[in-house]
Structure 1
Amino acid sequence: MAIYNVEQLPSPLNVLGEGPHWCVERQSLYYIDIYGGTIHRYDYKENKTYTATIDDYPVISFIIPVKNSTTKFIIGTGREVTMIEWDGVSSTAKYVKTVGQVELELPDNRFNDAKVDSSGRFYGGTMRLEEKGDIFESRLGTFYRYDAQRKQFVVLKKNIGVSNGLCWNETKNLFYYIDSCDLDVKEYSVDANGNLFNERVVIEFRENGSRPSFVPDGMTIDMNGFLYVATFGGSTVYKINPFDSKIVMEIKIPAEQVTSVAFGGPNLDILYVTTSAKEFKSPQPAPAGALFKVTGLGARGTIMHSVDLN
């Protein structure tokens, strides 16, 4: 069993830190504070975090670099995917254009987690706003793939509670997905167009049919196909073998609300972990909301991809 080390990085204490994306070209981790309305870039070489806001966008749900650009990104803004321009240093970023919008009839929904596959295709899902009630009360979210050639969102799954997770085993052509309200991790096969089939539950987190003390949140994968699942309310990242459905390691984080994970660093062997400082019941004490790194895991992650909008 690997002996790991957890270290808090110089970073703001986020209201709801989320969406870590490691950019190999910039050797930086991009992530967001959903309800702080900020985007961040943690520079590995400088060991420093830069933060920016975007006018008129108080809620930002993800950030992903745009292919063949050093300054353009897409972010989630409500039910829209928005392109922005940011140099990674300045305290403000600029709106460029709206890429697309979904669910015009559901003003209480917003995009949540989103990622990109090895072909540059965007995948992302929606959820009902947390302020509108218990997330388990309704399933108004939808999971989408964006068809850049047709400029259309393709529906992959309906009746989603909270769309989360998202990672690919590119070697085996498998996709892993979390709807936090299902309290499990699901696996899918992927066809040539990026559509999903052969659904299989990898692991179930319910305990004797009852809800656990956490919900599964963000997720990433290593080169050997092991999954790493953040637990909101569980102070833990679970390392899971999806082929035998076993938890092989519990990585303890000094914050209760662990939101997401991504491998990064020059060798892709550092696990970056985002956390939240504010639950909707009560604020959490520091270092809740900080960015952490986990080293010594003896694992390497896979490359995260930029979005291809062409």
Structure 2
Amino acid sequence: MSESVTIAVSRRAQCGEGPVWDPSTRTVLWVDIVGGEILRTELDDELHPLATHALEFPFMVGAVSPRAGGGIVAAVASGFVGLDENGTQTRRVDCLPAGVRMNDAKVDPAGRYWSGSCAYDFSSGAGGLWLLDEHWDATLVLPGLTQPNGLGWSPDGRSFYLVETQARRVLAFGFDPDRSRLTSSPKVLVEADAFTGLPDGLAVDARGHLWVAEYSGSAVHEFAPDGARVQTIALPTPQPTSCAFIGPRLDHLWVTSAAADLDEENHPDAGSIFLVTSPGTTGLAVPAFGG
């Protein structure tokens, strides 16, 4: 494999996160959690970035995804919001107590939106795993988590993966893709000793391999479905945060990063999006939210 790493989008995001390919607009949606920004990067036919547009919010935004009827859904400080194509808020679900916010989120195979919540100070057990269905009803599925982060599903939809960042573990659950239900208790798929830093966001490829960004680890890792490490790709920034396969063929791997607490002189590219070329695989399509 002859992958190389270049900068796809140069930006000093405080905590760039959650890239997702929007096939309806041929753009990439992502967020700056700390900056309270929803970002959309336009691409040309060869997937070179043309421009990045930011929609600012007065609160943290953990993740976003396209909606099947147009617009986006966002996991935010108080719960969830829906925005139309112009960025106007059309739906809002406040389900979190004070001191807790939504973090990473992703749409499941049935078009329902899953999000992890965490305390602002990452207090142990104060977070949880939430499900937002197509009727905009929010349910706490799994309480007692600390910093649930990257989410993803196996190609057949019968395994659900979740990163617990503070525990430095990747968990795997049995999953019913038709009813959007966890069907088993979690097992540890990747143990803490696989990381020197903190596992963060993830993407699943068409073979069922997991690609995990490592915050404070300057890397993205590929793991087989049994949790065995396949490869590690070094990145020229200390704080990679998440990754996604983008483009019509889902064959470009984009990795977001964070500039928070890093000196710009020594880390001038922190907060940018990095492109891993020739990752040797293609990604799984992430459905639009059905609500």
Q: With structure 1 as the length reference, what TM-score do the two structures score?
A: 0.86
Structure 1 residue 293: deviation in Å? 1.0
Distance 1:172 1:67 in 2: 19
Match of 1:15 in 2: 14
Work out the CA distance in 2 between the residues paired with 1:47 and 1:172. 31
Structure 2 gaps of 5+ residues are none
Question: Residue 102 of structure 1 is aligned with which of 81, 95, 100?
Answer: 95
Check conservation: 1:230, 1:260, Cα contact below 8 A. Answer: yes
Task: Give the aligned residue type for 1:123.
Answer: W
Deviation at 1:283, TM superposition (A): 4.2
Shift of 1:107: 0.7
Q: CA deviation at 1:138?
A: 2.2
Residues 61 and 75 of structure 2 are in contact (CA less than 8 Å); yes or no, is this contact kept in structure 1? yes
Q: Within 5 Å, which residues of 2 pair with 1:230-309?
A: 230-243=213-226, 245-279=227-261, 282-283=262-263, 285-309=267-291
Contact 2:31–2:63 (CA under 8 A) maintained in structure 1: yes
Question: Which deviates more, 113-122 or 78-87?
Answer: 78-87
Distance 1:139 1:187 in 2: 18
Aligned match of 2:181: 195
Are the counterparts in 2 of residues 13 and 287 from structure 1 also a CA contact under 8 Å?
yes
User: Deviations 1:53-72 (Å, cap 9, x if unpaired)?
Assistant: 24x52321111111122xx1
Q: Say if 2:144 is the partner of 1:159.
A: yes
Q: CA deviation at 1:85?
A: 2.7
RMSD of equivalent CA atoms = 1.8
Question: For the residues of structure 2 that align with 1:22 and 1:185, how far apart are their CA atoms?
Answer: 23
Assess, with a 3 A threshold, how the Cα gap between structure 1 residues 283 and 74 changes in structure 2: closer, same or farther: farther
Question: Alpha-carbon deviation of 1:44?
Answer: 2.3
Query: Which secondary structure state, in structure 1, belongs to the residue aligned with residue 62 of structure 2?
Result: coil
Shift of 1:73: 0.8
How many residues were matched structurally? 284
Partner secondary structure for residue 166 of structure 2: helix
Amino acid at match of 1:18: E
1:27 is matched with 26
**What's 2:49 paired with?**
47
Q: Any conservation in 1 of the 2:163–2:170 contact (CA below 8 Å)?
A: yes
Determine what percentage of the aligned residue pairs are the same residue. 26
1:123 corresponds to 2:114: yes
| Amino acid corresponding to residue 73 of structure 1 in structure 2 | I
After superposition, residues 72-87 of structure 1 pair within 5 angstroms as 72-87=71-86
| Residue 113 (str. 1) matches residue 104 (str. 2) | yes
Structure 1 stretches of 5 or more lacking a match? Answer: 88-92
- 4+ residue runs over 6 A deviation: none
CA contact (8 A) 1:83 1:96 kept: yes
In structure 1, what is the Cα distance between the partners aligned to 2:182 and 2:75? 23
Please state whether the residue corresponding to 1:303 is helix, strand or coil: coil
